[in-house]
Amino acid sequence: MRVLVTGGAGYIGSVVSARLLAEGHQVVIVDDLSTGHADAVPKAAEFHQLSIAALDPVLGDWAIDAVIHFAAKSLVGESVDEPAQYWRNNVVGTVALLDSLRAHGVPRIVFSSSAATYGHSDQQPIREDTPARPGNPYGASKLAIDLALADYARAYGLAATSLRYFNVAGALIDAAGDSYGERHATETHLIPNALRAAAGQGPALSLFGTDYPTPDGTCVRDYIHVRDLADAHLLALRAGVPGEHQIVNLGSGAGSSVREVLATVGDVTGRQVPVNEAARRAGDPPVLVASNEYAASLLGWRPTLDLTAMITDAWRFEQRGR
Ligand code: UDP
């Protein structure tokens, strides 16, 4: 297939692009480089520095078979302070993209949705029919797009899949030695921050909350390897059905606490992570774990790589100094 990847200069977009190329697909990346990196674009991909809202005049010339849509603003805290950016970039921008797909007859889309659509839930593990009650504008923007996709699929015959990621970690280092991983200017995620703290390249890790109602008092999250996640995108591309919208959770089905993650970082790096125990971070639910039964039945997808593999690959990527 000739696949358009929006946000292909970002973390997950670049990994998925590299996997698509390795599988023999053609990849056209659009990214406005607002948070992505030009040098994260795989060498074999075609690259256009463009916003998703500006695709309409050029899309007709590209003969695209499918879109994987990652381009989005994705910082929860920023979304609380600047919701307009999230509604404009994520929601309005995606509706413009969907209208361009319609106008130019692009029949299928796989969308990067999020566990943030569910918000706090007492129902664990979270299934796709768990009520979606996002706790912040970032999650609301992803849910709004999921709802739009359902309508566009039903009315206009689009084949659409929303993949709701839980906590993604790890990196891809390919056979040619090229590496793709997490490099955010503002890094909020636990694993990269813990690795930098362990390496002495960042401040001590602030551990947000030790009094949660969990076995060790720290938050429990469901981590999945970005390589497993990429496989799910390739499967979803093939599984899409015209006129149907599917929502699929992607997680391991099991949780790890922040303290368990920090212990694994210690084991992998051979260095203890310096930690400051801090107050809870606003909006963090105590436990978020995915049910991945639907991903298994619909896509035939199961995660294969554990937390140690994620942290080992993320550590190798960090040590490459990018
Ligand atoms: N966390 C932490 N210190 C950090 C970053 C995250 O203690 O510097 C905790 C956070 O409170 C949450 C878990 O680690 O319980 C995972 O957070 P992350 O931001 O990686 O992902 P999220 O679950 O928020 O999408």
Question: pTM score, two decimals?
Answer: 0.97
Q: Is the CB of 281 under 6 A from ligand 1?
A: yes
Q: Is the CB of 208 under 6 A from ligand 1?
A: yes
Write the pLDDT tens digit of every residue in 76-115.
999 999 999 999 999 999 999 999 999 999 999 999 999 9
Listed in order, the ranges of the chain carrying CATH 3.40.50.720 are: 2-169+224-250
Sign, CA dihedral 234-238-242-244, equals negative
The catalytic residue among 86, 138, 165, 294 is 138
Which pLDDT value is given to residue 175?
A: 85
Question: Most confidently modeled of 109-113, 120-124, 317-321?
Answer: 109-113
pLDDT of 322 higher than 60:
no
Overall average pLDDT of the 272-292 stretch: 95
CA distance from start to end of the chain: 31
Q: For residues 135 and 119, is the Cβ–Cβ distance under 8 A?
A: yes
Could you give the 3-state DSSP secondary structure of residue 247?
A: strand
Q: How is residue 74 written in tokens?
A: 């994705």
Domain 172-221+254-319, classified CATH 3.90.25.10, yes or no: yes
Which pLDDT value is given to residue 190?
A: 97
For residue 103, how many other CB atoms are within 10 A of its CB?
A: 12
265 alpha carbon – ligand 1 mean position (Å): 14
pLDDT of 16 higher than 90:
yes
Which pLDDT value is given to residue 104?
A: 97
CA 231-61-21 angle, 5° bins = 25
Q: How confident is the model at residue 321 (pLDDT cuts 50, 70, 90)?
A: low
Q: Which atom from ligand 1 is nearest to the alpha carbon of 194?
A: 8
For residue 270, how many other CB atoms are within 10 A of its CB?
A: 8
In the chain, helix, strand, coil percent, each to 5? 40, 20, 40
Euclidean distance between CA atoms 49 and 38, whole angstroms: 9
Q: How confident is the model at residue 320 (pLDDT cuts 50, 70, 90)?
A: confident
Q: Which atom from ligand 1 is nearest to the alpha carbon of 219?
A: 15
Could you tell me how many helices (H) and strands (E) the chain has, helices first?
11, 16
**For the structural domain made of 2-169+224-250, what CATH number should be given?**
3.40.50.720
Euclidean distance between CA atoms 106 and 168, whole angstroms: 28
129 alpha carbon – ligand 1 mean position (Å): 25
Give yes or no: 138 in active site: yes
Write the pLDDT tens digit of every residue in 44-68.
999 999 999 999 999 999 999 999 9
Q: For residues 18 and 178, is the Cβ–Cβ distance under 8 A?
A: yes
Write the pLDDT tens digit of every residue in 179-236.
999 988 888 999 999 999 999 999 999 999 999 999 999 999 999 999 999 999 999 9
* Whole-number average pLDDT of the chain: 96
167 alpha carbon – ligand 1 mean position (Å): 9
Protein residue whose Cα sits closest to atom 16 of ligand 1: 190
Q: Which atom from ligand 1 is nearest to the alpha carbon of 218?
A: 15
Could you give the 3-state DSSP secondary structure of residue 126?
A: strand
Write the pLDDT tens digit of every residue in 174-194.
888 899 999 888 889 999 999
228 alpha carbon – ligand 1 mean position (Å): 21
Listed in order, the ranges of the chain carrying CATH 3.90.25.10 are: 172-221+254-319
